[in-house]
Amino acid sequence: MTKWMEGADFKTNIKKGADISKYLTSDEVDECLHYDYHLRYIDTIMARFCL
């Protein structure tokens, strides 16, 4: 929370964290935080709502 209050970048802090870097490489973190995966059906959803 302290980092967030300071305006620090989330992805950078995740990559620097020892707890996460034990399990994920920098590329894997990037892959998890890439928004294209989460928005892959956005056009279909918008079409269903006629937006």
Query: Can you tell me the distance from the alpha carbon of 49 to that of 32, in angstroms, rounded to the nearest whole number?
Result: 28
Question: Which residue has 């006629």 as its token pair?
Answer: 50
pTM above 0.85, yes or no: no
Q: What are the angstrom distances between the C-alpha of 45 and each of 10, 36, 37, 41, 49? A: 28, 15, 14, 6, 7
Query: Can you tell me the distance from the alpha carbon of 14 to that of 31, in angstroms, rounded to the nearest whole number?
Result: 13
pLDDT in tens, 5-48: 777 788 888 888 889 989 999 999 999 888 898 899 999 999 99
pLDDT (0 to 100) of residue 3: 67
- Domain residue limits, the chain: 2-48
